């Protein structure tokens, strides 16, 4: 007997799969299991509008709560899956009940990486991944408080901008020689370092926290160079770890993420993995990728749903990301690692520009700041693996539409 689809994870990826299954005419039962108490919600605003208080919790929902029951999707919140029995196609929940499935979706996401130093268990040391995390951090915010942020990635920089606008004293520590070292080119790193410093953020590059001091709550952060920074609160944003434990325990192939094919199938054809937890093949970049982005979560959710609904469509897209900091909208597409040329279009000092990354004259990535036309054009160029003329890319007199026509 067909028992339907179980989705483990009620985030962006899991919600998209459930929604797409119904859109594709799937009429078997759908059960979505989430370990948080909240219905599926958007995570990107947590470090920006929600933390600043300009976005409410009710505005975060991906769908109205009534949507899920109207679509006959059983959403079980505050519940986790403890075991997958692949032989009998069933899962054991945290309340020790069992549910059977015909297809299983692993949308288990990722968890914040801990900083293993003395004092890491003190109060007022935060991470930011969930709505509950954001609520705790927001409650600790306050004008003139000293905030130390550890990690110069998206989360750290977005929270730094939010805290500065809230009147806080912000110091940001980055262990690498530059900000956004894992995801952006050096020119963009330097640009954002200057922007944040002008806004009042004390950025320390090539610097590590080696301990936290305090009695019950954190009082200060000890640095590798011997300095002690006063801290009323600390945010640790040093990346995430894929939640692959369930998959590994039941024998699925894992490699810093659950390994899937271009239809998001794991090594078990009845189990799929999507979103932050999946490692998938990408033909554009000829490598396997594990991506932490809304775009990837949405598109892989659609891919898994289309496969289950009997209309398989392989997933092969250029990844894209975005970040809002102060008055700047950063939009990124592709992967810049391995580029042999970086071409700037526009004026960085005017805070509206794009940096195109080329490899043997083929565009592989773009970082666009307040430059939506360049961002959209680069998505098409990268997806089409177009060979481009660097001199033409620099010419701001030539519209992106004309550039696209020339490079096709």
Alpha helices in 167-293 (DSSP H): 186-199, 245-249
Question: Distance between CA atoms of 176 and 165, rounded to whole angstroms?
Answer: 26
What local confidence, expressed as pLDDT, does residue 2 receive?
60
Number of alpha carbons in the 13 Å side-chain half-sphere of residue 340 = 4
Mean pLDDT of 182-209: 95
Q: Which domains does the chain have, with CATH numbers?
A: 5-111+240-308 (3.50.50.60), 114-236 (3.50.50.60), 327-407 (3.30.390.30)
- pLDDT tens sequence across 241-256: 999 999 999 999 999 9
What's the start-to-end Cα distance of the chain, in Å?
A: 51
In this structure, the dihedral spanned by the alpha carbons of residues 26, 32, 38 and 43, taken in order and rounded to 10 degrees, is: -70
- pLDDT tens sequence across 99-126: 999 999 999 999 999 999 999 999 999 9
- pLDDT tens sequence across 292-343: 999 999 999 999 999 999 999 999 888 999 999 999 999 999 999 889 999 9
In a 3-state reduction of DSSP, which class is residue 325? strand
* Per-residue pLDDT at 69 exceeds 80: yes
Whole-prediction pTM: 0.94
Question: Distance between CA atoms of 67 and 47, rounded to whole angstroms?
Answer: 26
Among the ranges given (56-60, 207-211, 213-217, 387-391), the one the predictor scored with the smallest mean pLDDT: 387-391
- pLDDT tens sequence across 219-278: 999 999 999 999 999 999 999 999 999 999 999 999 999 999 999 999 999 999 999 999
Question: Distance between CA atoms of 383 and 396, rounded to whole angstroms?
Answer: 22
Looking at per-residue pLDDT, the higher value among 283 and 201 belongs to 201
- pLDDT tens sequence across 156-188: 999 999 999 999 999 999 999 999 988 888 999
What local confidence, expressed as pLDDT, does residue 401 receive?
87
Share of the chain above pLDDT 90, in %: 90
Is-contact 318 333, C-beta < 8 A? Answer: yes
User: Taking Cα atoms as reference points, which of 382, 369, 360 lies closest to residue 185?
Assistant: 369
Confidence of residue 405 (pLDDT cuts 50, 70, 90): confident
Share of the chain above pLDDT 70, in %: 99
Instruction: List Cβ neighbours of 76 (8 Å cut-off, separation of 6 or more).
Output: 31, 32, 33, 34, 93
Is-contact 355 344, C-beta < 8 A? Answer: yes
- pLDDT tens sequence across 130-159: 999 999 999 999 999 999 999 999 999 999
- pLDDT tens sequence across 345-369: 999 999 999 999 999 999 999 999 9
Is-contact 231 218, C-beta < 8 A? Answer: yes
The residue count of the chain comes to 408
């Amino acid at each position: 007997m067909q028992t339907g689809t179980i989705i483990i994870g009620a985030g962006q990826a899991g919600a998209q799969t459930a929604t797409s299954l119904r859109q594709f005419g799937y009429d078997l039962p759908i059960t979505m299991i989430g370990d948080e108490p909240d219905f599926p919600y958007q995570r990107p605003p947590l470090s920006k509008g929600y933390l600043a208080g300009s976005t409410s919790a009710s505005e975060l929902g991906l769908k109205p709560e009534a949507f899920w029951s109207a679509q006959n999707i059983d959403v079980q919140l505050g519940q986790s899956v403890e075991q997958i029995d692949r032989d009998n196609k069933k899962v054991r929940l945290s309340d020790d009940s069992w549910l059977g499935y015909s297809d299983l979706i692993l949308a288990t996401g990722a968890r914040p990486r801990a900083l293993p130093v003395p004092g890491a268990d003190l109060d007022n040391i935060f991470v930011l991944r969930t709505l509950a995390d954001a609520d705790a951090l927001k409650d600790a915010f306050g004008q003139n408080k000293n905030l130390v942020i550890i990690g110069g990635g998206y989360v750290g920089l977005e929270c730094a901008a939010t805290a500065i606008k809230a009147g806080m004293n912000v110091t940001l520590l980055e262990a690498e020689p530059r900000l956004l070292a894992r995801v952006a080119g050096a020119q963009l790193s330097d640009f954002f370092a200057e922007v944040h410093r002008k806004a009042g953020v004390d950025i320390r590059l090539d610097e590590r926290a080696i301990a936290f001091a305090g009695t019950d709550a954190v009082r200060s952060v000890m640095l590798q160079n011997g300095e002690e920074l006063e801290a009323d609160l600390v945010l640790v944003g040093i990346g995430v770890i894929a939640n692959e434990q369930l998959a590994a325990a039941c024998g699925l192939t894992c490699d810093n993420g659950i390994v899937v094919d271009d239809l998001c199938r794991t090594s078990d054809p009845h189990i799929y993995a999507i979103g932050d937890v999946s490692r998938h093949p990408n033909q554009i970049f000829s490598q396997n990728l594990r991506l932490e982005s809304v775009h990837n979560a949405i598109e892989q959710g659609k891919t898994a749903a289309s496969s289950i609904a009997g209309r398989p469509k392989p997933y092969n897209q250029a990844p894209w990301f975005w970040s809002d900091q102060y008055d700047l909208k950063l939009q990124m597409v592709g992967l810049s690692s391995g580029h042999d040329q970086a071409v700037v279009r526009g004026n960085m000092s005017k805070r509206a520009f794009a940096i195109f990354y080329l490899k043997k004259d083929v565009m592989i990535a773009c970082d666009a700041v307040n430059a939506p036309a360049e961002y959209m054009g680069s998505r098409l160029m990268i997806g089409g693996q177009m060979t481009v003329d660097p001199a033409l890319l620099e010419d701001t007199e030539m519209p992106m539409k004309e550039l696209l026509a020339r490079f096709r």
